[in-house]
Structure 1
Amino acid sequence: TVTSLGGDGIDVLYPIINPPQVAIVGAGAIRDQAWVQNGQIIVRPILVLTLAADHRVTDGRVGSRFLRTIADLLAHPQSL
């Protein structure tokens, strides 16, 4: 499941799993932030994603890989 409060200006949220869900991704607001790229400070849009998961079904490593995949797809939408 995915939930987002970014439209309400919330930057970070910690969603709660509702049975029978196994996991839920939270998406905050996209904000321009300073970012270091190739030794230079640039301004770029940043989106904070969070993941809550039932550890009886999965573990943090699987969740981490899942979020990394989502982040990579969002950073390179042409790969979809």
Structure 2
Amino acid sequence: MPQAPTVTNLGDLGVDSVFGVIYPPQVAMVGLGRVMEQPWAHNGMLGIRPVVTATLSADHRVSDGLRGARFLARLDELLQKPEEL
């Protein structure tokens, strides 16, 4: 049976990033920090945009880094258009 990750958001407390520790029966934890304005380069242009750090801690007995990377990449895609969520 697939397990859902635990999600923790400490951004509302001013935390920049979260590096979670998972405890059984958890298999993964997604950590979200606060939204910060950061310089960002895109297509040769430099600007300021809101950025949030998302981290993933996972039990490698259940999954691997490739799935974790795909999950974070998909999360990034979805958060680029929050009005569509």
- Please give the range of the TM-score, normalised by the shorter of the 2 chains: over 0.9
The CA RMSD measured in Å over matched residues stands at: 1.0
* 1:73 aligned residue: 78
What displacement does 1:78 show?
4.3
Amino acid at match of 2:72: L
- The TM-score with structure 1 as length reference comes to 0.93
Q: 1:10 aligns with which of 12, 15, 34?
A: 15
How far, CA to CA, are the matches of 2:62 and 2:84 in structure 1? 29
* 2:42 aligned residue: 37
* 1:52 aligned residue: 57
After the TM superposition, which segments of 4 or more aligned residues of structure 1 sit over 3 Å from their partners? none
- Unaligned ranges ≥5, structure 2: 1-5
Per the alignment, in what secondary structure is the counterpart of residue 35 of structure 2?
strand
What displacement does 1:19 show?
1.2
Per the alignment, in what secondary structure is the counterpart of residue 55 of structure 1?
coil
- Unaligned ranges ≥5, structure 1: none
Equivalenced residues, count:
80
How far, CA to CA, are the matches of 2:9 and 2:20 in structure 1? 9
Identify the structure with the greater strand proportion: 1
Identity rate, percent: 49
